[in-house]
Chains A and B, each alone.
Chain A
Amino acid sequence: MATTALSPAISPRAAPAPLAVSTVAGQGAVWAATAAMLYALVFGLYAALRAHLFVAAARPPQPGMDLAAFDVTLLYLALMFGVQLLLVVVPLGVITALLVWGITARLPRGRGFAVAAGVIVSLALCAGIGYFLPTLTGDRMSPTVYPATFWFWLGLPAIFYVLTAALGAARLARRLG
């Protein structure tokens, strides 16, 4: 007996289900946490490799055990730091996702508008954080006084954050239909 069902290619497209606030917030949290842990992992691998080369050249007492101890400890530390930073990063991801969602819903449909909303919202939040941070940290986050500190804690994470917001917004646009 021949089937009467239409193939998906010629089915009428169903209207996308409206997204719940909790779904959007959850997605924001997951994307932010993923970006933060990816950053921590990349940094951990970089730090372990760089320290590994230093320790190997410094002739430690028990090279095999000592190199393993440094590698494991540095990677462990980077990831544990990442886990703790989720306390800050996840709320930021939730706020970003909700703002992007709220703006995207008022814009014409299309991935370009959503990505633009993601970039603008994340840049605006970066600017806000950058504006208030000197009152908390003094010149310790200054790109001219402490460039390594600035790039590690603010510059590179900001680039990660804006990219993540753009990618997340594109995905949100697809779910909104």
Chain B
Amino acid sequence: MLRRFWMSLALLLLLLIALYLGAVHPYIMRWGATDAELAATYPGDPFIPPDVVVSTRALTIHAPPEAIWPWLVQIGQGRGGFYTFDWLENLFAADMHNAPVIDPALQGLRPGEKIYYQKGSFYATTSVVEPPRVVALDGWSFNLIPQEDGTTRLVVRYPSFPITNRLAAFYYYVIFEPAHFVMEAGMMLGLKARAEGRL
């Protein structure tokens, strides 16, 4: 019975690795982004360090930038949360709570302000705030691009941490990048749901 379990598990793991590397990874690195969005330069780009892997993800929100901005500008631990899977974040002592409403007290985000990912530990520094278009946390930028039909393209560009050796590369590709996709794409969907008034 144990042998059967391990054989099945090994097969499942091999299948998942093949699926992830062969199909999912190329898809999630530019999830929803057009070629033009991929090639574009964004205000957060100057804060992207060298030796990093960059992902660009995008989706359409059926609301103007002005309706998305109040939600976007209040992100952060101890603020409005990141609108993603807080039940996963809280497995890592994040103390994350996604806000169901816009908080007027959190609307004055300024460059230089610290935005925490986890209570009292990891944080990013706000590098760009251009209402109602761009928020960047270090090189991680959230860009709201209005469309002619009244919708908005949310384009998120994220630089990895510097990958300077094989251990960092292993950790990044095996754990960090897939985890980051789940959380970032979940955040984009959470932001979309809130801005469209579906939450």
Contacts and interface: CB of A to CB of B under 8 A. Distances in A.
Contact of B16 (A54, A62, A72, A141): A72
Given A51-B85, A55-B189, A58-B192, A79 B16 contact: yes
A146 B174 contact: no
Given A59-B192, A76-B20, A77-B179, 14 more contacts: A30-B2, A41-B9, A50-B87, A55-B186, A69-B28, A73-B20, A73-B24, A73-B178, A76-B178, A79-B12, A79-B16, A84-B175, A141-B93, A148-B87
Interface residues of A, number: 39
Of B88, B93, B181, most buried by chain A (CB within 10 Å of CB) is: B93
Contacts, number: 90
A148 B95 CA distance: 10
Given A72-B16, A79-B16, A149 B91 contact: yes
Contacts of B12: 79
Interface of A: 30, 34, 37-38, 41, 47, 50-51, 54-55, 57-62, 65-66, 68-70, 72-77, 79-81, 83-84, 140-141, 146, 148-149, 152-153
A30 B6 CA distance: 10
Interface of B: 2, 5-6, 9, 12-13, 16-17, 19-20, 24, 27-28, 31-32, 59-60, 85, 87-88, 90-93, 95, 174-175, 178-179, 181-182, 185-186, 189-190, 192-193, 198
